[in-house]
């Protein structure tokens, strides 16, 4: 993946585009690595949104720990997803010589020792707006034990050597489920001193796990009557994995077999059918969590997320991409009327009980909004 442009342009409907921002390094702004670490801790979407766009996650993510101590050092930032998946984020400025090569060994070292640190003491789990833990302890411990971790290296400028090494050395040698993302946190200074600086996160490289079966072969005797014994070393990556790839058939089978309210199951089915009617613009994506999720998207922007637990969630920041500014504003306002308390949260979510109450109205709302913009 190519670096982001060194120049950014602005324009208005009445004027031609003009260069307004120029890329710079953190050092030029007298920023330390602690600034980058804190920026990600207080704004996890700086690194999560590029990962989400690459298909590495569909979950909500929460800041968890800064400078978390493991046996071999400190993890700069730890994030936690709503499905119990952990992300470890290592921050390095472009001027730090470790960004060239050593950083890969560093994050792998942290990954190896993370489970041991959790065995000693699990950090307090962050709480949502309702005061409830954002994830279950069992899910967290299971994901870490299985190596199901999102590893992120973030820098104001990722060194090209790191991107090449990560792909050539790591992509074909996985025996666990962790994924690696290299993210540029590109900084831009304004050419007009009156403007604010810009931060543009950009995915430079991603290495996804390609799990293989590892075995030990023991040959006793000589050909052609030798006895061959094959012992499996790695676990079966089939049904025992908590982060399996969900699809339509599996998700709806799970809904039918679980205690999800009937109204939520019907909402999911009706939205699925609606997406099938408009495959050019309406798409469905499926989560990777323990109970899976269905995300209804239009033009790549999410409209609604239905989880196998019966929860319904929304990402209002995605509405304009899906619907355009005006329709997105109407959609958000109607959602606030249906569920004012939930839509006041940073990450709006409805409990299974709340979802059951509003599910029929949600479908009508989505259908009407789509109809207003000439679809549905």
Residues 220 and 227: their CA atoms lie apart, in Å, by 5
Q: How many domains does the chain have?
A: 2
pLDDT of residue 236: 41
Q: Is residue 215 part of a domain?
A: no
Digit-by-digit pLDDT tens for the chain (376 residues) are 667 789 999 999 999 999 999 999 999 999 999 999 999 999 999 999 999 888 888 888 999 999 999 988 999 999 999 888 999 999 999 999 887 768 888 888 888 889 888 877 889 999 877 778 888 888 888 888 878 899 999 999 988 888 777 766 555 445 456 788 999 999 999 998 767 899 999 998 887 765 444 445 555 555 445 454 544 444 443 344 445 568 899 999 999 998 899 999 999 999 999 999 988 889 998 876 667 889 999 988 899 999 888 989 998 988 999 999 999 999 999 999 999 988 987 778 898 999 999 999 999 999 999 998 876 5
**Does 91 lie in the same domain as 171?**
yes
The answer to whether the beta carbons of residues 122 and 140 sit under 8 Å apart is yes
The answer to whether the beta carbons of residues 40 and 26 sit under 8 Å apart is no
Q: Is residue 225 part of a domain?
A: no
Domain holding 143: CATH number? 3.40.1350.10
Which among 165, 46, 36, 170 has a CA at the least distance from the CA of 94?
36
pLDDT of residue 245: 66
Cα distances from 303 to residues 297, 326, 365, in angstroms, run 6, 14, 11
**Does 308 lie in the same domain as 185?**
no
The domain in which residue 49 lies consists of 7-207
Strands 61-70 and 198-207: unpaired
Residue 153, classified by CB atoms within 10 Å of its CB into exposed (0-12), middle (13-18) or buried (19+), is buried
pLDDT of residue 237: 38
**Does 254 lie in the same domain as 136?**
no
Write out the DSSP string of 55-69: TS--S-EEEEEEEEE
**Does 144 lie in the same domain as 252?**
no
Q: Chain-centre distance of CA 365, in angstroms? A: 27
């Amino acid at each position: 993946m190519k670096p982001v442009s060194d120049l950014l342009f602005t324009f208005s409907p009445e004027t031609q585009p003009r260069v307004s921002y120029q890329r710079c390094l953190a050092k030029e702004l007298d920023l330390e690595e602690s600034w980058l670490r804190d920026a990600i801790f207080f704004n996890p979407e700086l690194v999560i949104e590029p990962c989400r766009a690459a298909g590495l996650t569909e979950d909500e993510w929460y800041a968890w720990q800064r400078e978390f101590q493991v046996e071999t050092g400190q993890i700069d930032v730890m994030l936690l997803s709503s499905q119990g998946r952990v992300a470890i984020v290592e921050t390095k400025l472009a001027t730090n010589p470790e960004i060239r090569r050593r950083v890969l060994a560093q994050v792998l070292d942290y990954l190896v020792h993370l489970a041991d640190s959790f065995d000693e003491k699990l950090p307090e789990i962050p709480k949502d707006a309702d005061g409830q833990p954002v994830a279950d302890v069992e899910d967290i411990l299971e994901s870490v034990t299985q190596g199901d971790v999102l590893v992120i290296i973030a820098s104001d400028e990722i060194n090209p050597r790191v991107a090449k090494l990560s792909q050539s050395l790591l992509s074909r040698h996985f025996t666990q489920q962790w994924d690696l993302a290299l993210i540029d946190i590109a900084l831009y200074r304004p050419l007009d001193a009156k403007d604010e600086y810009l931060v543009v996160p950009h995915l430079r490289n991603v290495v996804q796990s390609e799990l293989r079966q590892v075995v030990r072969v023991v040959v006793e005797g000589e050909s052609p009557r030798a006895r061959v014994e094959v012992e499996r070393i790695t676990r079966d990556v089939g049904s025992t994995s908590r982060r399996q790839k969900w699809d339509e058939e599996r998700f709806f089978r799970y809904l039918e077999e679980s205690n999800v309210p009937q109204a939520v199951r019907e909402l999911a089915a009706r939205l699925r059918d609606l997406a099938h009617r408009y495959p050019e613009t309406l798409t469905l994506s499926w989560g990777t969590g323990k109970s899976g999720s269905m995300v209804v998207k239009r033009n790549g922007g999410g409209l609604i997320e239905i989880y196998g637990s019966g929860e319904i969630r929304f990402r209002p920041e995605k509405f304009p991409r899906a619907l355009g500014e005006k329709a997105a504003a109407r959609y958000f306002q109607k959602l606030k009327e249906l569920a004012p308390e939930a839509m006041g949260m940073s990450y709006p979510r409805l409990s299974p009980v709340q979802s059951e109450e509003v599910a029929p109205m949600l479908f009508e709302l989505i259908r009407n909004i789509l109809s207003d913009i000439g679809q549905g």
